[in-house]
Amino acid sequence: MLIPVLFLILMWGYQPERLQAVTYMILYTSLGSFPFLFGISALVSNGASDSMQSLNSFFNRELCSVYWFYIFGFLIKLPMFPFHLWLPKAHVEAPVAGSMILAGVLLKLGGYGMLRYFNLIEVKMSDFSFSFLISLSLVGGFLTSLMCLRQVDLKALIAYSSVGHMSLVILGIMSHSMAGYLGAIIMMLGHGLCSSGLFVVVNLFYKQSNSRSILYNKGGLALCPSLAMFCFLLSASNMAAPPSLNFWGEVLVFMSGSALSIWWVVVIALMSFMSACYCLFFYGSCCHGKSSEIRKSGVYMSNLLTLFFHWFPLNFLFLYV
């Protein structure tokens, strides 16, 4: 999985820092995957199979006490705070296709791996590691939401918002409830559509101004109203406004979190408020105000269709929930 993304960033990236971004991504992902490789090797050496069906009956229950060691690679892939530093660098240096694949597909592999892994093991909710993991991810999600308000680079803003959303996915998966599982899956699906569409919006802004800085991207509403409309719709979906999938996912994660601890609900509420703040900040900064220079629109019907096909399933798949 790393090799295609490595070529995407190295070959199509357009800044000299792309080598550093690729190095970060490889180091974080590889080092986090070594414990999981060790766990699979230990299972095979003890005579068990690495097939998921046979693991249900042959799984070594002693691994439940150190489960956090084996899901380390999944937590980095999601990513979880404080192992998220590779994500903003990779997003900023990647081309728009690389950012869409990273946000829409690769981050979801960590959540999928956690879902499959937690179907095998039984975790005691009274364990210190259980409370520490969820508390760290939620507090980290709140801190990264605060960092979004201080970002100047539009791509970095959306990348940091992904860390906040993925912290809610960790809570949903580790809650061991049907509502939490369903909420995590819906949030991953909604985030994959919404974040990928926002990267397309940022790329269209970049084509107009040749800069991803918020300071240079003003007055989008006067320049291209259709692009500003999709920017508003996707920003509203990113802050979990109904009827988007993000809204239904957050409601289900709220339910599963409230059953575990009232303090976690407070942190989730703060994260939800901060997500509304940075989404409004993103939309208001890019679409309102007066443009500092005359820019060409550069938005074609194919670009608007791409945005529509991100927004439409994001707001109408709730009919099948």
Q: Residues of the chain with pLDDT > 90: what percent?
A: 33
Task: Check whether 200 has a pLDDT greater than 90.
Answer: yes
Amino acid making up residue 194: C
Report whether pLDDT(126) > 60: yes
The percent of the chain in helix, strand and coil, each rounded to the nearest 5, is: 75, 0, 20
198: tokens are 């926002």
pLDDT above 80: residue 65: no
pLDDT computed for residue 286 by the predictor: 87
Q: What's the chain's average pLDDT?
A: 86
Q: Is the bond preceding 95 in cis, omega lying within 30 degrees of 0?
A: no
What is the per-residue pLDDT across 211-258, written as a single tens digit (0 to 9) for each? 888 888 888 888 888 989 999 999 999 998 888 999 999 999 999 988
Which tens digit of pLDDT belongs to each residue from 31-60?
888 888 887 787 777 666 666 666 666 666
Which value, to the nearest 10 degrees, does the dihedral of the CA atoms of residues 190, 194, 195, 196 take? 110
| Among candidate residues 175, 77, 171, the one with its CA nearest the CA of residue 123 | 175
pLDDT score for 63:
62
Could you give the angle at the alpha carbon of 227 between the alpha carbons of 241 and 155, nearest 5°? 75
Least confident of 13-22, 54-63, 97-106, 265-274: 54-63
pLDDT at 33: 86
> What residue type is 282 in one-letter code?
F
Q: Does residue 290 register a pLDDT over 80? A: no
The pLDDT score that the predictor gives to residue 234 is 94
pLDDT at 298 over 80: no
Question: What contacts 227, CB < 8 A, 6 or more positions away?
Answer: 201, 204, 205, 220, 299, 303, 304, 307
Structural contact between residues 134 and 33, judged by C-beta atoms closer than 8 angstroms: no
d(CA 293, CA 247): 37
- Please write the tens of the pLDDT for every residue from 75-87: 988 888 888 888 8
Burial status of residue 59 (CB atoms within 10 A of its CB: 0-12, 13-18, 19 or more): middle
